[in-house]
Structure 1
Amino acid sequence: MVLKAGIVLSVISIILLSIYGVDAIMTITENLGPQDTAFLHTDAKTRGMVFGLIPAILLILSFFITRKEPSKVLGILIIIGGALMVVGVGIIFALPNNNIPSAAKGEFGGVVGIGIAIMALGAIKIKKSR
């Protein structure tokens, strides 16, 4: 039962991160301001909290609530969630119209670090499943 809950949390996280990424990319490609959003109709800080921070917490939670349950599937889902965070930052910086203020660019380093830590948790989950 706990394993199913962990998988559901991971899938929800991946969906939220995907929505966040699509909105951020659309915002940049449509030349909206750095504080605007494309279709979520919230400010960037709220978008980051709801669609970035909450999924990260859910991924970490899914690892810890299932720490005694072996599951390669859950490990893979956790890695996918962490990778979405890391790759998402890379895509946002690679887009030519990113008007991200210099002060905000430092926050993205933290996002990359959290994404890498989450991917490590997924790798641990897979390793413990063998």
Structure 2
Amino acid sequence: MAIKVAMIITGISIALLALYGADVAVSMSNADHDGFLPLNDMQRGMGLGGPAIILPIIAFFITLREKSKGLGGLIIISGILILIGGLAMIFTPAPEGVERNPLMLFAPAIIQIALGAIKIVKN
């Protein structure tokens, strides 16, 4: 049962990351820098990015003693999506007055990829 719940919340994380990326892509393609969601950059990051980072970590810990290559794969996919987003942010100019810390962009991705690998290797 815990594996199913963990896979669902990790799937939600992946969906949030896809929605986040799509909204950013739309906002970068128009002159107003507005996405299809009525959110500014901070709201988008906190509302979509925050849960997308936390949910796979919760999924890992609620299934700590259980084996699951599928869940490990989903956690790695979530980490890779965060990594891709971080790389995209590095290659785009930051809004005026905003500083981007590369460590803060990549640390969650590396943690999730490591947790996913642990979950897979544990089998």
* Distance across 1 between alignment mates of 2:81 and 2:50: 13
* Distance across 2 between alignment mates of 1:102 and 1:48: 17
Q: How many residues align?
A: 123
SS in 1 for 2:99: helix
* Distance across 1 between alignment mates of 2:89 and 2:121: 31
Alignment identity in percent?
36
Where does residue 115 of structure 1 map in the other structure? 109
Q: Which runs of 4+ in 1 moved over 4 A?
A: none
Asked if 1:89 corresponds to 2:83, the answer is no
Asked if 1:105 corresponds to 2:100, the answer is yes
Where does residue 127 of structure 1 map in the other structure? 121
Correspondence list, 1:56-75, <5 A: 56-75=53-72
TM-score by length of 1: 0.86
Correspondence list, 1:28-67, <5 A: 28-33=28-33, 37-67=34-64
* Distance across 2 between alignment mates of 1:93 and 1:24: 14
* Distance across 2 between alignment mates of 1:84 and 1:24: 13
Where does residue 12 of structure 1 map in the other structure? 12
* Distance across 2 between alignment mates of 1:109 and 1:30: 29
SS in 1 for 2:65: coil
Structural RMSD (CA):
1.6
- Where does structure 2 lack aligned partners over 5 or more consecutive residues? none
* Distance across 1 between alignment mates of 2:96 and 2:107: 20
TM-score by length of 2: 0.90
